Amino acid sequence: MKIILVDDKLVYRNAIKTLLQKLGDVEIIAEASNGVEFLKLLDECDPDLVFIDIEMPEMNGIEATKEALKKNPSLVIIGLSMYDNKKYVNDLIDAGARGYLLKLSDNSQIFRQILQNPRAEVFFSKEISPEKNLDENSKKTILIADDFENTRFVIEFTLKQAGYEVLKATDGQDALKYFDGRKIDLLVTDLNMPRKNGLELAETVKSIPTYRSIPILLLTTEINEEKRQKSKQIGITGWIQKPFVIDKFLSFIKRALQ
């Protein structure tokens, strides 16, 4: 696995390099001390995985992550920080990173999991696991249906941080497997998906007696009056425009579940 390390402190780059080389068959193909250097490296090499510090001069890890994923949307980026900072965590994951690790934690097992399958999940040090901030009063189950992987994991992380149980589906047809009598309190579905789009999924779900009253939110990049009218006929609860702001998204979720 080809890896780039980005951190303005050489001591941390060396520590991570030593740990990674002990855990797996890795090649550290480049190192950078800030986000600007990192983005230049992406024009010269093609890594599988990037570990990036959050606080750096010239360009921080959050901004660098946004720009890097514009260049290479399939790149796996894991953030590193000294701080358990909720805003940092939310902003980094919202930027498209696939994890947030505290530098002073024992992350050996997590690093091993990342090297084995970097896309298996969103990775966190145990001290900042999303379960840490669960609201015990909001144990609702929400199903996400979206064919775009980055959207699914950003929504999953956001909802878990807020205390919700989360199920995921890759498209409308895949989502139907969950409607087998189990408890689902809300469906959040993309409008445009293969096999069965959001409106088709919603119409099918509403035809199942058990789920006739389930609230459904549609995610979309487009506003189409014909589709809005169709959604009203089906009984859609509301539309959420992409890209969305996390706080507003959670407000939509809370209102839909009331």
For the chain, which residues make up each domain, given as ranges?
2-128, 131-256
Of 14-28, 59-73, 223-237, the range with the lowest mean pLDDT is 223-237
Q: Give dist(CA 160, CA 205) in Å, integer.
A: 24
Q: What is the per-residue pLDDT for 24? A: 80
Q: Give dist(CA 99, CA 58) in Å, integer.
A: 22
Please check whether residue 6 is in contact with residue 56, taking contact to mean a CB–CB distance below 8 angstroms.
yes
- The domains spanning 2-128 and 131-256 adopt the same CATH topology: yes
Q: Is the dihedral of CA 189, 191, 197, 199 positive or negative?
A: positive
Using DSSP, state whether 74 is helix, strand or coil.
Answer: coil
DSSP state letter for 236: -
Q: Give dist(CA 100, CA 19) in Å, integer.
A: 17
Mean pLDDT of 188-211: 92
Superfamily of domain 131-256: Response regulator (3.40.50.2300)
Quickly count: other Cβ atoms within 10 Å of residue 103's Cβ. Answer: 17
Q: Tens digit of pLDDT for each residue in 113-170? A: 999 888 888 889 887 754 444 444 357 899 999 998 878 878 887 888 788 889 999 9
Question: For domain 2-128, which CATH number applies: 3.40.50.300, 3.40.50.2300, 3.30.420.40, 1.10.150.530?
Answer: 3.40.50.2300
Q: What is the per-residue pLDDT for 137? A: 34
